Structure 1
Amino acid sequence: MSPGQIAALIAAGAFVLLVLFLAVTLVKLGRTLDEATVAIRKAHKNSDPLFLEANTTLTHVNTQLERVDGITANARAVSGNVSALTSLFTATLGGPLVKAAALSYGLSKAVRARRKAAVETPGKHSRRPGRRKGGRR
C-alpha cells in the first residue's frame, strides 16, 4: 500500500464517522421536532377553550363597562341638578336669610348691651328725671 492509499483510507474512515455523527444528530433532531409538533397540537387543542373563555369574559366586562357608563352619566346629571338647585336656593333664600341672621345678631347684641348697662348702673332707669331721692323739689 502506498502512502496515498493509506491517506485515502483514513479520509474514507473519517467521512464514515462524520456521516454517522450527522445521522445520529439528525435522528435526535427529528425526535425533538416530533415532540415539538405534539406539544404544539396539544397547546392548540387546549387553547380553543381558553380563547372562548377569554371572549366570554371580555363580553361580560364590556357589559359591565356599559352599565358603569350609564351610572356615570346619571351621576353627572344628578350633580348638575344639585348644582342648579344650590344656585336657586342661594339666589332665592340666601340674601334674605343672611339679612335675617344679621338682624337677629344685631338685636341680640343690643339686648345684651342694654342688659349689661342696666346691671352696671342699677336704678338709673327706675327714677324719673328731675326728682330727688329725698322727696319734693
Structure 2
Amino acid sequence: MTGPARPVRRWGPPLSGTELVTVLDRLRSWGPFDGRALLDDVAAALDDVPPSERDAAQLAERLRGLLARLVTISVASEAEQDPTAAQLVLRARTLHADPLPCGRQEAIAHLRRLGWTANELHDRLAAIRCLKEAA
C-alpha cells in the first residue's frame, strides 16, 4: 500500500563552480605533513649557533607554517580536548600571529619560542595518537 506522492526537490550541486575551483586548487596544493622537515627546522631554531638574519626570517616563516598545520591537525582530530594540547594550540596561535621582532636577540628568542612550541605540540599530538612520530 502506498501513500500519497510527495514532491521531491530537484537535486542541485552543493557548491558553486567558483567554490569547486577553490576546493580543487587547495587539493592540488596540498602536501602531506612532513615530520622530518619539522624536526630539521626545530633543530635549526634551537641550535647553539643562531641562523643569519635572512635565514632566521625564512626559518620563522617555515615554523609559522608548520605551527599552522599542527593547529589544523589538532582541531581536525579534536586534540584540544586534551588540556596540554589545548594550551599548546593556544600558544601556537599566539606565536603564529606575532611578527618576527626587529632586534637580533629578540628575533632569535622568538625563533626559539616558535621551535619549542612546534616541537612540544608535535610531541603531544604523537603522544595522544593524533599524529605519527617523525623518525
TM value normalised by structure 1: 0.21
Higher share in helix: 1
* Higher relative contact order, chain-length normalized (CA < 8 Å, sep 6+): 2
